Amino acid sequence: MGQVTQFHYTAQHKPNQLIYGSGQVAVITGWTVKQAIAKHLQPSEYAVIGQLYSPTRGINLLVRNLLLNPHVRYVVILNATKEDKNAGAGECLRDFFHHGVQESVSDTGRKSWVIRSHIPGYIDIDIDIRAIEKLRHALKVEVATSIAEAVEKIKAFAQIEAVEPWGIPLDFPMATVEPTVLPGTRYGHRIEGKTIAETWVKIIHRIKTTGTIRPTGYDGKWQELIDLMAVVTAEPADFYFPEPNYLPIDRSFLTEYISQILDDSPYREGVKYTYGQRLRSWFDRDQIEQVIEKLIGEIDAASAVMTLWDVKDHDKGGSPCLNHIWLRVVDNELSLTAIFRSNDMFAAWPANAMGLRALQKHIRDEIANRSAYDLYMGPLITLSQSAHIYDDTWSNAEQLIKQQYAAICSKLDYADPAGNFLIEIADGQIVVTHTTPGSGEIVGCYSGKNALKLAREICAASPAICPDHAAYLGMELQKAADCIKLDKAYIQDR
């Protein structure tokens, strides 16, 4: 090997997420853990090794880092896993080098360089197009579909005599905006919706408006709430995709993703885990089968539990985000509850929720096939310990709220699970009768003359009352109190 030159890679973006060497090859490993490649190489054989998850957000940072390191003359893209195929980042990056960019708008409506690819990928418009073109033409790019093939290609490039940098380091500053955060509870939120799509918009709104801004473990920031419970009551069996589809996933992605949750997969180097593998075989038993058999044998069981967390997970990074799943039958209805230790609510939650819904349906159907229990699909409940939105999707989140939140709130029906309150005046007092939703059975009675006192009493007795229902009650109670004072007849809602 004739190479003596020692190059130094400087990363402005994600500096702590990269493995640095002294060579001229940038290695992009996609979803394969970077160490799985690094261990087959000498540092002199590469300039940098890093993972690229997302074409819409990751390529921009990678391009910025590459512009700052003109000594990088070769790129090896590893496009090896199902996750890579689903995300499309490797393919989009290859298209960037092969086909370049054109001026257009990004998914958040920002003027951007859009990569000429069938997979959406964006580069900030404030990067000089001449610099982008120079970079594209200066770098030799190879794509590998396995770790072995990538290692071979990197080593082949590393054999070549050192080449001059293609230019001087170029730095294009990046604008950042700190969002305004409204006051709110940090711990313990409950959000309910009929569909995953509707629930998701509400989740994004809650975190984006009241979440705490914190540093992430990945050289960036996120906005976060702790212990966010999402209850999806009526996701249809064939899944609801809004039109136009504002979710970060589509049907073809979902098919692939469901298999990652439902199906076993053998251990593969560089792949941390799949949920299917944890559920089907990791602990030497098929936990999905165990839960089905458990419920058939004991339909009231409160022990239909699956675990994905292995105590050994602390020894290595990259432990599963989905940790625990419960199935429960109440009133002939099968609910599924799942806990995530950490949940990217913008980019990952919709897929996580749909995958879990498919698991819930699979368990329901298997119970029906093997026993006399023909259960209804109950709610899907996720509990996300760290429910966060990364800073690189804040503008997407804001756009989603702007475009969808008002429409979703306007579609709310007024059925409050806490029940109904019938207001009358009798013997110079306001009388409130509390009834159950639907059947209308009387479950409580309040009376008095002071509207605020009554409202507080009702809210204390039924603290799960919906906020807009409580506001409505307050107004009606005041109207009733005014009628007493003015000696007028009071009729609710008039």
Ligand X SMILES: O=c1ccn([C@H]2C[C@H](O)[C@@H](COP(=O)(O)O)O2)c(=O)[nH]1
Could you list the residues that contact ligand X (CB under 6 A)? Answer: 217, 318, 321-322, 342-344, 348, 352
Residue number with CB closer to ligand X (344 or 391): 344
Residue number with CB closer to ligand X (31 or 46): 31
Residue number with CB closer to ligand X (264 or 313): 313
Asked if 213 and 223 touch (Cβ cutoff 8 Å), the reply is: yes
Query: Residue 491 region, left (φ>0) first, then alpha (ψ -120 to 50), else beta?
Result: beta
How far apart, in Å, are the Cα atoms of 138 and each of 66, 122, 150, 398?
11, 20, 20, 37
Residue number with CB closer to ligand X (337 or 342): 342
Closest separation between CB of residue 356 and ligand X, Å? 10
How far apart, in Å, are the Cα atoms of 123 and each of 53, 60, 88, 132, 347?
15, 5, 16, 9, 19
Between CA 163 and CA 176 the distance in angstroms is: 35
Residue number with CB closer to ligand X (7 or 31): 31
First-last CA distance in the chain: 90
In sequence order, the β-bridge partners of residue 330 are 333
Q: How far is CA 209 from the centre of its chain?
A: 17
Residue number with CB closer to ligand X (167 or 318): 318
Closest separation between CB of residue 453 and ligand X, Å? 45
Query: Residue 9 region, left (φ>0) first, then alpha (ψ -120 to 50), else beta?
Result: beta
Return the biggest CA–CA distance within the chain. Answer: 102
Residue number with CB closer to ligand X (45 or 391): 391
Between CA 166 and CA 135 the distance in angstroms is: 8
The enclosing H or E element of 424 equals strand 420-426
Closest separation between CB of residue 314 and ligand X, Å? 12
Asked if 291 and 337 touch (Cβ cutoff 8 Å), the reply is: no
Closest separation between CB of residue 113 and ligand X, Å? 27
Between CA 186 and CA 381 the distance in angstroms is: 19
Residue number with CB closer to ligand X (224 or 416): 224
Closest separation between CB of residue 255 and ligand X, Å? 17
Closest separation between CB of residue 16 and ligand X, Å? 12
Closest separation between CB of residue 346 and ligand X, Å? 9
Residue number with CB closer to ligand X (226 or 348): 348
Closest separation between CB of residue 211 and ligand X, Å? 13
Asked if 184 and 210 touch (Cβ cutoff 8 Å), the reply is: yes
Closest separation between CB of residue 273 and ligand X, Å? 9
Residue number with CB closer to ligand X (131 or 262): 262
3-class DSSP state for residue 104? strand
* Tokens at 371, concatenated: 């026993």
Residue number with CB closer to ligand X (220 or 474): 220
Strands of 96-236, DSSP E: 101-105, 111-115, 122-124, 140-144, 187-193, 212-215, 221-232
Closest separation between CB of residue 360 and ligand X, Å? 16
Asked if 351 and 304 touch (Cβ cutoff 8 Å), the reply is: no
**CB-based closest residue to ligand X:** 348
Beta-strand relationship, 333-344 and 305-307 = unpaired
Beta-strand relationship, 376-390 and 221-232 = antiparallel
Nearest residue to 12 (alpha-carbon basis) of 44, 42, 48, 55: 48
Residue number with CB closer to ligand X (61 or 151): 61
Asked if 336 and 359 touch (Cβ cutoff 8 Å), the reply is: yes
Q: Who contacts 463 (Cβ-Cβ below 8 Å, separation ≥6)?
A: none
